[in-house]
Structure 1
Amino acid sequence: MSSTDPATGLVTTVPRTDFTSCDYVIWSGADYVTTVVKYNQVMAEPFDPAVAGEYFVFAFASTVGLWWVAHSVGKVVGMLR
């Protein structure tokens, strides 16, 4: 379900509505370039230690919080036995 543009030589795909078989997904050149440019722009942003610290604190607090809840539930279940 793909077609080749004779002027540019780019291969494009036609959107499918039936997904009964697996086919290769082929991007046109413009779609690929747009995605790569967006990715490179995100990667070019400078590292912000404050934001990284916020992510770390959130992940650490979530882990400790989940452990604390599980530990408390275990204590309650232990008392009920």
Structure 2
Amino acid sequence: MVAKLVGRSFFSLLLSSELMLLLTLSMVSLDLLALPLVRPPVSLEDLLLLLLLQTLSVAFLGQLDPSPAPPSQQITAGTL
């Protein structure tokens, strides 16, 4: 019972840290969208950075699946 509670707490902490990172990436993306208000032309570098941040956000959302991978797909220290 205690191990299950500790496991859930650890998973909640891990999930919250990933969500905080996702929130940070989203806030940076919103800041980049607001750049045209500060300076009229949007550079190609700004657009590429925005695209990269949005891609990372989608990648992190895809990793938030709480179900464990099957044993055949789990990475162990020996396979790295």
Q: Please say whether Structure 1 and Structure 2 have the same fold, judged by a TM-score greater than 0.5.
A: no
Give the structure, 1 or 2, with the largest relative contact order (CA under 8 Å, sep 6 or more).
2
- The interval holding the TM-score normalised by the smaller chain is 0.3 to 0.5
Q: Which has the higher helix share?
A: 2
Structure with a larger share of its residues in strand:
1
TM-score normalized by structure 2?
A: 0.39
Compare CA radii of gyration and give the structure with the larger one: 1
